[in-house]
Amino acid sequence: MKFSITSTLAALALAGGIAGGAVAQEYPYRDITNAVVWGAGGGTDTINRMIMAEMEKHLPVSINVINQTGGVAGSNGLVFAANQPDDGYTLVGLSESNVTAAVQGGWDKKFDYWYPFIVGGSPDLISVPAESPYDSLTDLIEAAKAEPGSVPAAAGGAGSIHHLNLLALEQGSGATFKFVPYSGSAPGQEAAIAGEVALVVTSLAEQAALIEGGQLKPLAMLTADSVEIAGQTVPSAFDSYAGLSEVLPLKQAIGFAVHGSAPDNVKATLAEAFEKAMASETVADWAKANKYDVGGQYGEAAQALFANLESTFAYTLKDLGAAKVMPEDLGIEKP
């Protein structure tokens, strides 16, 4: 009888320990890692460090941000995160530019592999050198129409969101520019300031200091809304060319993601912390100071947004002859 009671008590104690362990290990019970696919100090890195710090306030653990760079369109970071368990302890910091990784041969998955969270992005605009003879978008478009392909334009690299916005501007206005590819936004903006190109398309966040410093003259936002900067109003390009509303805006989508196969409780916990962080004054003040539009989409809403970007980017690269893997072979539908 003594043996039976002892065994029973031991069994109860063991059961209690297991139950207590289950409660103690409710997600998250240890620190989370966020692997940002782009370099330290860039827009994606900066946004991820900011939002992770805010989300930590609503979680019982820390979120450690690291940089896992390299590969094709950030593929090294994507592959690194994909190879980790889908338990929610490894996030990936990413942007809209990563949707081309598959068609460029960086990896073999569509972007719907991820369950994304979008913090936001900065809208694109078209600007010219400060001493440019063009004082309005209409002036610039008419010059490009008069001599198609003669007006050189910088808009990042081929297939970038800035390049796609330039192509959309051409489609919506009927103009044809001479696209000059650069390795990134900064070199393209420097080329415009130096007079190597007649115009540059990059984001407001990237151009803001140059506009405020009088080095670039903004002509139009490639979104439906105007913007106030440096004591002037930058009008929407839609005001002059209504047809642009059919092809624009194509906007940045910067944030992070967890495996799409992660447990529902993991997604729900991250979503709750994300919503609280996005509602904070810290995020609002940061976005205003850095010329970013706040997003806040996650899950299916964010997946739908990324799917549209993936489709548009993939088939644009195919048309440019820059796709190593055909988008239809990946199951990416044509826009």
Q: Which residue is it, tokens 């390049």?
A: 163
Q: Within 10 A of 183 (CB to CB), how many other CB atoms are there?
A: 9
Q: What is the mean pLDDT of residues 134-161?
A: 92
Q: Which of 87-96, 111-120, 153-162, 254-263 has the lowest mean pLDDT?
A: 153-162
Sheet containing 124-129, strands listed edge to edge, beginning at the edge strand earlier in sequence: 178-180, 152-154, 199-203, 124-129, 216-221
Buried b (16+ CB within 10 A) or exposed e, 9-45: eeeeeeeeeeeeeeeeeebbeeebbbbbbbeeebbbb
Q: Which of 210-224, 253-267, 317-331 has the lowest mean pLDDT?
A: 317-331
Strand partners, 78: none
C-alpha angle with apex 106: 102 to 108, nearest 5 degrees?
A: 50
Give 4-52 pLDDT, tens digit per residue.
444 444 444 444 444 444 344 899 999 999 999 988 877 888 899 999 9
Alpha carbons 206 and 229: distance in angstroms, whole number? 13
What is the chain's mean pLDDT, rounded?
89
Q: With bands split at pLDDT 50, 70 and 90, how would you rate the model's confidence at 252?
A: confident
Which residues neighbour 262 within 8 Å (Cβ) at sequence distance 6 or greater?
86, 87, 88, 115
User: What's the pLDDT at 323?
Assistant: 86
Q: What is the mean pLDDT of residues 255-277?
A: 98
Q: What is the mean pLDDT of residues 215-227?
A: 95
User: What's the pLDDT at 200?
Assistant: 97
Alpha carbons 222 and 203: distance in angstroms, whole number? 10
Q: With bands split at pLDDT 50, 70 and 90, how would you rate the model's confidence at 161?
A: confident
Alpha carbons 196 and 183: distance in angstroms, whole number? 15
Q: Within 10 A of 114 (CB to CB), how many other CB atoms are there?
A: 25
Give 49-82 pLDDT, tens digit per residue.
999 999 999 999 999 999 998 888 889 999 999 9
Percent of the chain with pLDDT over 70: 93
Whether 170 contacts 249, CB under 8 Å: no
User: What's the pLDDT at 16?
Assistant: 47
Q: Are strands 90-94 and 32-36 parallel, antiparallel or unpaired?
A: parallel
Q: What is the mean pLDDT of residues 258-274?
A: 98
Residue from 113, 103, 96, 87 nearest 37 by CA: 96
Give 147-160 pLDDT, tens digit per residue.
999 999 999 877 77
Which residues neighbour 28 within 8 Å (Cβ) at sequence distance 6 or greater?
59, 60, 61, 88, 89, 269
Please state whether the predicted TM-score (pTM) of the whole model is above 0.85.
no
Q: Within 10 A of 186 (CB to CB), how many other CB atoms are there?
A: 13
Alpha carbons 95 and 154: distance in angstroms, whole number? 21
Which range, 66-75, 138-147, 176-185, 250-259, is most confident? 138-147
Whether 197 contacts 179, CB under 8 Å: no
